[in-house]
Structure 1
Amino acid sequence: MQIARRPTGQFAHRLGRAAGRSARWLRRRERQAIGWLVAEGLPAPVAAALLWIVKLVVVAGLLYVAFWLALLLGFAVAAAWVAGHSTEQDEDDFLGRKAEERDHRKSIFYHPASYNDDPDPRFEDD
């Protein structure tokens, strides 16, 4: 009679075994925490209820964070979609001028050394 071997090389199997080990470890720690609380003078049902309350608070906090991250991701996706589907060909600057009408020499941060332009009379050397 041949004994069936367990599949040890598959990822799902290893993941399941790790999850089982983690769940058993957490259950042992929970029993230790209840035992410690009982040893400190707290009744066992109250200690168990206290641990349930802590678990519910942690889950509520994770759901709160997940909600805001999902909302932020939704806004980012919507902004990317709107930016990708804009129909305007020429973008305006902050004054409403078309891109081809703008002269870079009229910019606040213009300096002739940054561009290969004709000499600008505003920056003539004396």
Structure 2
Amino acid sequence: MNTKARISKAERFGRRIGGMWRGFVRCEHQVAGWLVAHGLSAGAATALLWVVKLVVLGVLLYVAFWLALLFGFAIAAAWMARESDQDESEEWAVGEQSEHKNNPGYHPALYNDAPDSRYADPRYDDE
């Protein structure tokens, strides 16, 4: 039996996300320290950082809203295009022929189609 512990992909992903979060917090503290070093009070630096975070969150929500709206319009357009194709009817079909030609088993090359009353077969004119 292997005694070596293996790290799963989920744990590796979690560690990576945690490292990125720690890096973000470290950069935030550095920016706050830089602002304090340049004459801003600690409370004002914290407030400014919170304002920046809220503005970034607002921009992300704004972009997400418009992308979702665009995606919704694309889905609606695709749905309408799909539905419009099914409503087309054959204008040349007469009477029961339109129903016959819409059957799932219809094939135009078959010779047992319903006869078209607009065309007379010369072979049967004598009858």
1:35 aligned partner, one-letter code: G
Moved runs in structure 1, 4+ residues, more than 3 A?
none
Q: Which runs of 5+ in 1 are unaligned?
A: 91-97, 99-126
Q: Which amino acid in structure 1 is aligned with residue 88 of structure 2?
A: Q
Instruction: Show the counterpart of 1:13.
Output: 11
Residues of 2 paired with 1:28 and 1:4: CA distance? 33
The Cα offsets for residues 1-21 of structure 1, whole Å up to 9 and x where unpaired, read as xx883x41x221111001100
Q: Which residue of 2 aligns with 1:28?
A: 26
Identity of aligned residues (%): 54
Q: From 13, 37, 42, give the equivalent of 2:35.
A: 37
The alignment of Structure 1 onto Structure 2 pairs a total of residues equal to 88
Task: Give the distance between the partners of 1:84 and 1:13, measured in 2 at CA.
Answer: 44
Distance 2:67 2:74 in 1: 10
Structure 1 residue identity aligned to 2:60: L
Gaps of 5+ in 2: 92-127
**What is the aligned partner in structure 2 of residue 85 from structure 1?**
83
**Bigger Rg over Cα:** 2
Structure 1 residue 88: Cα displacement? 3.0
In the alignment, the residues of structure 1 paired with residue 50 and residue 4 of structure 2 have an alpha-carbon distance, to the nearest angstrom, of 41
| Residues 1-126 of structure 1 mapped to structure 2, 5 A cutoff | 5=5, 7-8=6-7, 10-86=8-84, 87-89=86-88
Q: RMSD value over aligned CA atoms?
A: 2.0
Report the TM-score, using the length of structure 2 for normalisation.
0.64
TM superposition score normalised by structure 1: 0.64
Which structure would you say has the larger RCO, counting Cα contacts within 8 Å and 6 or more residues apart? Answer: 2
